[in-house]
Chains A and B, each alone.
Chain A
Amino acid sequence: MTLLDFARGPALAWSLYILFFGSLLRLVGVLLARKHVDLSQPRNADTLGDSVRTVFTRFWFKPEFRASTLFITLIGYAMHIGLAVVVLLFVPHILFISKLSGLSWGGLPNDTIMLAGAITLAALVAMWVRRLQNPLMQAISNWEDHLALFITGLPVLTGMMAYGHLFQDYPTLLAIHILSVELLFVWFPFGKLFHAVMWIPTRFKLGAHFSRRGVKA
């Protein structure tokens, strides 16, 4: 079995098992946590609309925070959008996902994908530099934060290397690329990358909390 076969076969299988096992474990465990029954009179009894709204309004900061937040928010967006483009619009990736999910859609030309990949990497590096340099970020960062950046960046980097046949033959690079994605799958449920799932329930809950008190969050 070559490295590529290993990556495409058993490693993929196990990484997916772990991904789904861990994600469900964490999500179910959190959602079933003990709830606090609030006996105070709600200002709003029906909080659903506000909760859903909060899930989406948090995609952009409130105007008050523009000065402090704009730059890093844009970098965050560059990273997330770049990653989304690379993951979701590169034809081989679409085929990969369609095999697992049965869904399919159109892709983009490769040079566009490479550009998006480069932007993603640059944004990740910028985020990392900020984490290392900015005293605030230094104070609130731990190894998990660095690991998360690394684990996110690795598939992008190896994917671009495979595409460019850099340093190694393509099958090996492809295998490394796939393995790096699998590393991401494996770590995803256990580290802070899981925010990619948690943002929905957490924002929803905050929306409900504030809506109940009549505050627009």
Chain B
Amino acid sequence: MSDDKTLGERLRESGLSRRGFMKFCAATASMMALPPSMIPAIAAALEKARRPSVIWLSFQECTGYTESLTRSHSPTIESLIFDHISLDYHHTLQAAAGDGAEAARKAAMKENWGKYLLVVDGAIPQKDGRVYSAIAGMTNLEMLKEVAEGAAAVVAVGTCAAYGGLPKASPNPTGATYVSDLITDKPVLNVPSCPPIPVVISGTLAHYLTFGTLPELDHLGRPKAFYGQSIHDRCYRRPFYERGQFAETFDDEGARKGWCLYKLGCKGPVTYNACATTKWNEGTSFPIQSGHGCIGCSEPDFWDKGGFYEALSKGTFSSAEGIALAAGAGAAIGVAAAMGAKSRQTEADAKHKEDPA
């Protein structure tokens, strides 16, 4: 906390070359759709950036994001940026425990009141007196409200925090909800994905460090720079889609030839994320490249969209019974209608037989 080195100093300390740093700045600029002329400005800003205080709250979640970030093989520029921030409270990573940990949180909040960043991963249970998740005697909601009050901005990391994710998936036993549902008086930035790509949050942090503001967001609160295009739009298998060449199973000829995975349930066309461009593990691959369709994890309620292996165009509903019932009811009323018509005709017969005046 007392460490007030700038980001530039810290990066040099860890052995990052100037060239590597500029490369990162260029990448950041391009990811955030800024013109190349902005690169020096970004570099200068990042160079001088002081480490911001960050409080990280974990609610109903699987620690996936922390895992994804900390399991990188070699130290990456993302992890370095992450290292640079002053992570004053994080269940998984902090050494302190119990009252000590809570005291640290309180102290950080007090010291940086109005300036710290609140990062949340995990959904917040609302049912049954919110008993399903509590920390240090506080329900998740209480803690969220308390910390959010003094935060400059809230970053909801992972789909659970951003949109409710798995906890909120039907039938949502804990009544889970998401951050922006509860925090409406602060800017909330969503970094959904299950888990999110590390570079997305580091890029977002870089933006915050550079400009002191949150980047431009889409209608779902996601930074447009990373979530502006669908997986499908940037997918290297797209030509196969256009030609109508689809893998029918995961081990057929088409699958081996790398054909489109639409029929196997790929949700790429309606999923906005950076996987297809930034990829994972330092650009090694992403799900579609490894032969599995996109499951749409950066979209709200992606669990409840009809099954990961159901093609997108299929309805999420299938009720043969419902249709049979509707058809049966229709037929029954049809019979009744015909009977009604016949009795109307019988009535008319008599009148028709009368002589005209």
A and B directly contacting (CB within 8 A): yes
Interface residue ranges, A against B (CB under 8 Å): 1-2, 4-5, 8-10, 12-13, 16-18, 20-30, 32-34, 91-93, 95-96, 98-100, 107-111, 165, 170-171, 174
Given contacts A4-B270, A32-B339, 13 further A-B pairs with CB under 8 A are A9-B315, A20-B326, A23-B327, A29-B341, A33-B341, A34-B345, A95-B262, A96-B313, A99-B311, A107-B244, A109-B242, A109-B243, A110-B242
Cβ-based interface call for B28 (8 A): no
Interface residue ranges, B against A (CB under 8 Å): 230, 232-233, 241-244, 246, 262-263, 269-270, 300-301, 304-306, 310-319, 322-323, 325-331, 333-335, 337-339, 341-342, 345
**In the docked arrangement, what's the CA distance between A170 and B334, Å?**
40
Q: With both chains docked as a complex, state the minimum distance between the C-beta of A102 and any C-beta of chain B, in angstroms.
A: 10
**In the docked arrangement, what's the CA distance between A182 and B338, Å?**
28
Given the interface contacts A20-B326, A95-B311, does A170 sit within 8 Å of B341 by beta carbon? no
Classify the interface of chain B: helix, strand, loop or mixed. helix
Across-interface contacts of A100 in B (CB, < 8 A) = 315, 318
Report yes or no: B327 in contact with A24, Cβ–Cβ below 8 A: yes
Residue in B closest to A15 when the chains form the complex, CB atoms: B315
Report yes or no: A21 in contact with B330, Cβ–Cβ below 8 A: yes
**In the docked arrangement, what's the CA distance between A69 and B121, Å?**
68
Can you give 29 A-B contacts (C-beta < 8 A)? A2-B300, A4-B270, A5-B301, A5-B304, A8-B306, A8-B315, A9-B316, A9-B317, A12-B315, A13-B315, A13-B317, A23-B327, A23-B330, A24-B327, A26-B334, A28-B331, A28-B334, A30-B338, A32-B335, A92-B311, A92-B313, A95-B313, A95-B314, A96-B314, A96-B315, A99-B315, A109-B244, A111-B242, A165-B233
The 9 A-B pairs at the shortest CB distance, nearest first, are namely A28-B334, A24-B330, A92-B313, A32-B338, A99-B314, A17-B326, A21-B330, A25-B330, A95-B311
**In the docked arrangement, what's the CA distance between A12 and B319, Å?**
11
Across-interface contacts of B330 in A (CB, < 8 A) = 20-25, 28
Across-interface contacts of A108 in B (CB, < 8 A) = 244
Given the interface contacts A32-B335, A99-B310, does A13 sit within 8 Å of B322 by beta carbon? yes
Residue in B closest to A18 when the chains form the complex, CB atoms: B326
Of the residues A1, A27, A171, contact of B334 by C-beta under 8 Å: A27
**In the docked arrangement, what's the CA distance between A11 and B315, Å?**
10
**In the docked arrangement, what's the CA distance between A75 and B105, Å?**
73
Q: With both chains docked as a complex, state the minimum distance between the C-beta of B271 and any C-beta of chain A, in angstroms.
A: 9
Given the interface contacts A8-B305, A93-B313, does A29 sit within 8 Å of B338 by beta carbon? yes
Q: With both chains docked as a complex, state the minimum distance between the C-beta of B341 and any C-beta of chain A, in angstroms.
A: 6
**In the docked arrangement, what's the CA distance between A13 and B242, Å?**
29
Across-interface contacts of A96 in B (CB, < 8 A) = 311, 313-315
Report yes or no: A91 in contact with B263, Cβ–Cβ below 8 A: yes
Residue in A closest to B310 when the chains form the complex, CB atoms: A99
Of the residues A12, A27, A171, contact of B270 by C-beta under 8 Å: A171
**In the docked arrangement, what's the CA distance between A70 and B269, Å?**
42
Across-interface contacts of B269 in A (CB, < 8 A) = 170, 174
**In the docked arrangement, what's the CA distance between A28 and B342, Å?**
14
**In the docked arrangement, what's the CA distance between A151 and B68, Å?**
49
Of the residues B306, B329, B338, contact of A33 by C-beta under 8 Å: B338
**In the docked arrangement, what's the CA distance between A29 and B331, Å?**
8
Q: With both chains docked as a complex, state the minimum distance between the C-beta of A36 and any C-beta of chain B, in angstroms.
A: 11
**In the docked arrangement, what's the CA distance between A28 and B270, Å?**
41
Report yes or no: A34 in contact with B342, Cβ–Cβ below 8 A: yes
**In the docked arrangement, what's the CA distance between A52 and B305, Å?**
45
**In the docked arrangement, what's the CA distance between A165 and B328, Å?**
40
Across-interface contacts of A95 in B (CB, < 8 A) = 262-263, 311, 313-314
Report yes or no: A29 in contact with B270, Cβ–Cβ below 8 A: no
Residue in B closest to A102 when the chains form the complex, CB atoms: B320
Report yes or no: B315 in contact with A25, Cβ–Cβ below 8 A: no
Q: With both chains docked as a complex, state the minimum distance between the C-beta of A58 and any C-beta of chain B, in angstroms.
A: 25
**In the docked arrangement, what's the CA distance between A27 and B332, Å?**
11
Q: With both chains docked as a complex, state the minimum distance between the C-beta of B196 and any C-beta of chain A, in angstroms.
A: 20
Of the residues B244, B325, B345, contact of A91 by C-beta under 8 Å: B244
**In the docked arrangement, what's the CA distance between A23 and B327, Å?**
8
**In the docked arrangement, what's the CA distance between A93 and B313, Å?**
7
Across-interface contacts of B310 in A (CB, < 8 A) = 99
Q: With both chains docked as a complex, state the minimum distance between the C-beta of B328 and any C-beta of chain A, in angstroms.
A: 8
Q: With both chains docked as a complex, state the minimum distance between the C-beta of B32 and any C-beta of chain A, in angstroms.
A: 20
**In the docked arrangement, what's the CA distance between A28 and B304, Å?**
37
Across-interface contacts of B316 in A (CB, < 8 A) = 5, 8-9, 12
**In the docked arrangement, what's the CA distance between A124 and B10, Å?**
67
Residue in A closest to B260 when the chains form the complex, CB atoms: A91
Report yes or no: A110 in contact with B244, Cβ–Cβ below 8 A: yes
Report yes or no: A21 in contact with B329, Cβ–Cβ below 8 A: yes
**In the docked arrangement, what's the CA distance between A15 and B144, Å?**
42
Residue in B closest to A91 when the chains form the complex, CB atoms: B244
Residue in A closest to B342 when the chains form the complex, CB atoms: A34
**In the docked arrangement, what's the CA distance between A129 and B246, Å?**
40
Of the residues A10, A18, A99, contact of B318 by C-beta under 8 Å: A99
**In the docked arrangement, what's the CA distance between A212 and B311, Å?**
51
Across-interface contacts of B313 in A (CB, < 8 A) = 92-93, 95-96
Q: With both chains docked as a complex, state the minimum distance between the C-beta of A9 and any C-beta of chain B, in angstroms.
A: 5
Across-interface contacts of B262 in A (CB, < 8 A) = 91-92, 95
Report yes or no: B333 in contact with A25, Cβ–Cβ below 8 A: yes
